[in-house]
Amino acid sequence: MKGLLFTYALTCAAAVGAPFYPYYAFLAYVAFANLKPEALWPWSVPEGNYSRIVGAAFLVGWLLNGAGSARLRPVAPIVLALLFYWFWLFVGAWISPAQTDAWYTVIVLSKVFLPLLAGLTLINSLEQLKQLAWVLVLTHGVLALQFNQQYYMYGINTDEWMFSGLDNNSIAITIVTALGLACFLAVASPHWWQKGIALVCAALMAHVVLFSMSRGGMLAMAASGLVAFLVIPKRPVTYAAFAVAVVFVLILAGNEVQREFMSSFAKRDQMDASAQSRFQLTRDAVDCMLRYPVFGCGLENWGNVAPEYGWYRGKRAHNTWAEVGATLGVPGVTALLSFYGICAWQMLRVARSRRPVNPWIRWMAIGIVTALAGFFASAWFVTVDRIELPFYVVLLGAGIVKVLSLESAVEVAAPARNLLIGATPEPSLQPLLLNAEPR
C-alpha cells in the first residue's frame, strides 16, 4: 500500500508542479526510471503510465520555462558523443533485419536521452547537483533494501532472479554502479545523518552484489574499490576507511560467494562452461564488427548472426562493448565509449585538480569516476546497453562541469563589472571554487 501511495503521490505532484518547477519533475522522472514501481511493488502498484505522465509533464514544463539554459559549451564533447550515438541508433535500426527489436531499443533509449539532455539544461547550481545525487543514491538504496528483504525472507535463486527484465548479472551491474556514488556521497555530505543514510545504502548495495552471485558484479566492485583507492587523497584516515570497507565486504561474503568470485581467476581449461563461453562470444562479436565495421550487422541483430558462429539464435554476446560494436559498427561503439570516457576523464581532472574546488564537488567527482569504472568493468561480462543509471551518472558529471564553468564565469565577470561601476564585489557571492580541500 505504501508503494501505491508513493507512486500516485509522486506522479500527481510532478505532473501538477512541472510547469512551475520543471527540475523537480525531472528528478521525479529519474526516480521512476530507477525504481520501476510496477516491478518493485507488483502486489500493490498496478500497471500504469506513471513515468510517461511525469516525463510528458516535465518536457511541457521545460518548454514553458524557456527550455533551460543552452550554455552547454563546457560539456559539448559529452553532449555531441551522446547525440551521435543517438543518431547512430536510428541508422542501425533503419538497416537492421531485426526491425521490431531495433526500434523498440531506439524508443527505450530515447526516453532516457531526451529527458537527460533537457535536464542538463536546467542544472545551474550546486544544490541541484546534490538533489540529483541523492535521488540516484536513495532510489537504489530502496531497491537494495527490497532485494535484501527478499533474500532474508524468502531466499533468492540467482538462476531465476529477475527485476523488470534484468537478470542477476544486470541487477548486480546496476547496483555496483550506484555503490560508488553512495560511498562518496557519504564522504561528501556535511551532516552525520546524511553520512549515515548514504553508508547504509552503500552497505545494502554491497550485499546485493555479493548474493547476486554475479562474477562480473563482484569483479566490478573490486575494480571500483581499486580505482577509488588510486584516486582518493592518500592520508591515514583514507587508508583506514579503505581497510574497514574491505574487511566489511569480506565479512559479508560467505564461502559460496568467495568460491564464485575466485572462479573468475581459474585457468582457462578449469573454468566452467559459462565463463569459457564469454571469451568465445567476445571474440565472435569482435569478428562480426570487423566484418561490418561501419554500420555493424544492424541494431539488435547480433542474435540472428550468432548461429553463424555456432551459437543458438538469440544468444547475447555477454559483453556490452563487443555487442554494440557488432551491431552498430566502430562509429557506434566509439561514440558510446567516448560518452562515458570523456566524462570520466573530466571528473578525474576535477578530482586531481590543484585548483581549490568545493569539497563536495571533488568527492563526488571521485564517486563518478568510481561508479563509471565499476560499470565499464562489469559491462565486459554482460550486455547492458539499455540500463539507465550509467547515463544519469554521466549527467551528474556533466552537471558538475557545467556548474563549475558557470561559477568561473561569474568570478571573471564580477571584478570587471564592479570596476566599471565603481562598486565592491557582492559579499553574498559564494562561488564553488573555494579554498578548501577534502578531508
**pLDDT value for 261:** 46
Of the candidates 298, 264, 265, 302, the one whose C-alpha atom is nearest the C-alpha of residue 284 is 302
Cell numbers found for residue 20: 512551475
Question: What amino acid is encoded at 341 in this protein?
Answer: G
Q: What is the DSSP string of 112-178?
A: HHHHHHHHHHH--SHHHHHHHHHHHHHHHHHHHHHHHHHHHHT---TTT--BTTB-HHHHHHHHHHH
**pLDDT value for 381:** 83
**Model confidence pLDDT, tens digit, residues 302-332:** 999 999 999 999 898 889 999 999 999 999 9
pLDDT below 50 — which residues of the chain?
A: 257-258, 260-266, 270, 414, 416, 423-431, 433-439
**pLDDT value for 392:** 97
Of the candidates 172, 184, 109, 141, the one whose C-alpha atom is nearest the C-alpha of residue 339 is 109
Write the Ramachandran bin of 207: left for phi over 0, alpha for psi from -120 to 50, otherwise beta: alpha
Instruction: Domain ranges for the chain, please list them.
Output: 74-98+135-421
The model's pTM is 0.87
**pLDDT value for 48:** 85
Of the candidates 433, 436, 435, 432, the one whose C-alpha atom is nearest the C-alpha of residue 128 is 432
**pLDDT value for 122:** 94
Percent of the chain with pLDDT strictly greater than 70: 84
Give the number of C-alpha atoms closer than 13 A to the C-alpha of residue 190, restricted to the C-beta side: 5
